[in-house]
Amino acid sequence: MSPAGPALEHRALVRESGRVRLRPRPTRAPGPGELLVATQVAGLCGTDIQMLRGLRDDPAPVIGHEGIARVVAAGADTPDALRPGTPVVVNPTHRSDPSFLLGHTVDGLLQERTLIPATAVRGGLVVPLERPPDAVLGTLIEPLAAVRYAFALLATARPRTLVVYGDGTIGQLAVRAARRWLVGVRRVLLVHHTPAGLDWSARRTGPGVESLLHGEPGGLPPLGPEPTAALLATPRDATVSALESALRLDSGRLTVDLFGGLPPGAAGTPLPGVDLAAVRAANCAGFPVPPAFTEVVTTTGRPVRLTGHRGVGNDHLAEAAAELSRDPASYRDLVTHVVGLSEAARIMNDLSASRARTVAGRRLIKLAVRFAPPPSPLEAP
């Protein structure tokens, strides 16, 4: 019998022929330096939905890079801190090995068992959790860690106003965590692209957040002469439009984080000759230190500081997990849908065929897929 436990197969949500199907897959025992983990809860993010819709060509048949897992088997030469039974979060982005991008180039967490390759284990990307967040909040660790990274970059500008473009998971997390992680911010604005999103936020974000609709006549209100930070938490096909809006803000010194990704060849009309993708990619997984910024001047003569990032560092994951454990009530309502594997397949197929954000009559912010608890490591032979 293999170290994977009694079963030689596990269930997975597999992309095949333009659909997601719940399929059995062979459960391979980990080799030297590898780990086998059992997903406890996994989330579906905006990038995952883009892959389902064919807007990205990432090859992994099984997607999913957000969630909590538990080690069920460890190959030779793996760290003692990652022994079977350990709850972990997997950092999806390898800073120096592009062959590992969890749920993009290698199979992700939307399956009962995931084999973590040796390159990721050696790179320290499997992070033990001393105090995992309760229940389904584990789906928010990685996205909240990405917000933590963004705020670490933006904090260098000492902004007094934060403008967040995008009302998905990242945007909602950002406005809730802003006053904790962006010290000195006095004003927080959340810019929506649809009236439905505006309505959802107006009823849930609480006091201190101004909810606005993108494209309203007259644009955003004047922000005053003090420094402003703009976080572009938009889908990749909306990032350039959000950037152009941010560059028109009536504010003091402006710093912009290109958080949301960019389509191939993207360029901001007011920034001719600026390689936006290179700006975003200059910071990866917490490096370099200090982080990279690009100083640019718009066609109207306005100086702007641009930055961006890919992935997160392990310290960002740890800080996010601690924040979710410290104050779960501030984030719990963002996990709007909690389902099992069969229902997850149906929802993923519906999302692939439509740009609608309504599932089961409710607006979707974060979908959490729950898995049965793994067997005790003592059951393994």
CATH of the domain at 237: 3.40.50.720
pLDDT for residue 268: 64
The model carries a pTM of 0.94
Confidence of residue 1 (pLDDT cuts 50, 70, 90): very low
Classify residue 265 by its DSSP letter: T
Q: Does some domain include residue 314?
A: no
Judge whether residue 78 has pLDDT over 60: yes
What is the pLDDT averaged over residues 104-114? 98
pLDDT for residue 340: 97
What is the pLDDT averaged over residues 65-79? 97
Q: Which residues pair with 71 in a beta bridge?
A: 37
For the chain, the domain total comes to 2
pLDDT for residue 3: 52
- Per the document, the length of the chain is 381
Q: Are residues 371 and 238 in the same domain?
A: no
Q: Does some domain include residue 321?
A: no
Confidence of residue 58 (pLDDT cuts 50, 70, 90): very high
What is the pLDDT averaged over residues 109-126? 98
Confidence of residue 289 (pLDDT cuts 50, 70, 90): very high
**Hey, what long-range contacts does 197-200 have (CB within 8 A, 24 or more apart)?**
197/167, 197/357, 197/363, 198/167, 200/167, 200/363, 200/365
Share of the chain above pLDDT 90, in %: 83
pLDDT for residue 263: 79
Q: Are residues 148 and 124 in the same domain?
A: no
Phi, psi of 281 (to 5 degrees): -80, -5
Q: Does some domain include residue 317?
A: no
Instruction: Assign 199 to helix, strand or coil.
Output: helix
pLDDT for residue 51: 94
Phi, psi of 240 (to 5 degrees): -65, -40
pLDDT for residue 105: 97
Q: Does some domain include residue 87?
A: yes
Q: Are residues 13 and 107 in the same domain?
A: yes
Q: Are residues 108 and 159 in the same domain?
A: no
Q: Which residues pair with 14 in a beta bridge?
A: 21
pLDDT for residue 356: 85
CA dihedral sign, ordered 233, 311, 173, 294:
negative
Q: Are residues 220 and 297 in the same domain?
A: yes
Q: Does some domain include residue 242?
A: yes
Q: Are residues 237 and 348 in the same domain?
A: no
As given in the structure block, the two tokens for residue 43 are 């989330």
How far is residue 67 from each of residues 111, 116, 221, 327, measured CA to CA in Å?
11, 14, 38, 18
Q: Are residues 195 and 75 in the same domain?
A: no
Confidence of residue 380 (pLDDT cuts 50, 70, 90): very low
Confidence of residue 381 (pLDDT cuts 50, 70, 90): very low
- The residue range of the domain holding 42 is 9-130+331-379
Judge whether residue 207 has pLDDT over 60: yes
Q: Which residues pair with 363 in a beta bridge?
A: 358
Closest by CA position to 21, among listed 116, 139, 111: 111
Mean of the per-residue pLDDT values for the chain? 93
pLDDT for residue 269: 74
Burial of 258 per CB tally in 10 Å (0-12, 13-18, 19+): buried
Judge whether residue 378 has pLDDT over 80: no
H/E segment holding residue 71? strand 66-74
pLDDT for residue 7: 52
How far is residue 133 from each of residues 44, 66, 318, 373, measured CA to CA in Å?
18, 13, 11, 16
Confidence of residue 379 (pLDDT cuts 50, 70, 90): very low
Residue whose structure tokens are 């995992």: 132
Q: From CA 34, how far away is CA 150, in angstroms rounded? A: 31
Judge whether residue 346 has pLDDT over 70: yes
What is the pLDDT averaged over residues 329-350? 97
Burial of 105 per CB tally in 10 Å (0-12, 13-18, 19+): middle
Q: Are residues 86 and 124 in the same domain?
A: yes
Q: Are residues 245 and 100 in the same domain?
A: no
Q: What is the pLDDT of residues 230-275, one digit of tens each?
A: 999 998 888 999 999 999 999 999 999 999 888 777 776 789 889 9
pLDDT for residue 375: 62
Q: Does some domain include residue 285?
A: yes
pLDDT for residue 8: 83
What is the pLDDT averaged over residues 206-227? 89
Q: Are residues 208 and 302 in the same domain?
A: yes
Q: Are residues 187 and 258 in the same domain?
A: yes
Q: Are residues 20 and 52 in the same domain?
A: yes
Domain at 59, CATH number: 3.90.180.10
Instruction: Assign 330 to helix, strand or coil.
Output: helix
133, amino acid identity: P
Beta carbons of 71 and 83 less than 8 angstroms apart: yes
Q: From CA 64, how far away is CA 109, in angstroms rounded? A: 5
Helix spans in the chain (H): 46-52, 118-122, 141-154, 169-181, 195-202, 239-246, 276-281, 314-326, 341-353
